[in-house]
Amino acid sequence: MNTHLQAAQNAVLNEEDTWVQSDLLWRDERWTAEVIKNEDDEGWAVAMTLAGEAEPALVGPWTMGRDKKNPKPLSAPAFHTLVKTASEVLRRHEQQLHARLHKSLKIDTEQGRIQVLLDIVPDEDNPYATLTARNDDGETIAQIKVDAGFKLSEASAQAWAAKEFLRP
């Protein structure tokens, strides 16, 4: 048999092996939904974990079955809803992280309107931030490295501009 054809067939088989659709576990190439016993009470929960991640992105309550003891089985519509919800949670988390690490404001100076940006690099060993000033044309007119705890405000940006963009 052609080795390329065999490799392609094995790749397809391996991909299909990752897909699971059982009552308490659904998995596709990106997400795993697992119904688990709720540690806080007698009910059930569902954990949504992104492939390659150790911790779930979302854990939420899961519905009891008709017997009021066992969990309701996972289904295609439920799985797709859970994927959409977990993806939205991750997206919001990324937006919050971006907003925390990247700040921007505009100030009026003698040189004209200036945009001041603070970009924090959350390095575990040596966190720092970069303070950048840009003119109306988007050209960088100053850039310096500052402490990761630097607080960007209109007052701190104005003070930096007043010092002709030297170290604040």
Res. 8: pLDDT tops 80: no
38 in Cβ contact with 47 (< 8 Å): no
pLDDT tens for 116-145 read 999 999 888 999 999 999 999 999 999 999
How far is the first Cα of the chain from the last one, in angstroms, to the nearest whole number? 70
pLDDT tens for 78-105 read 999 999 999 999 999 999 999 999 999 9
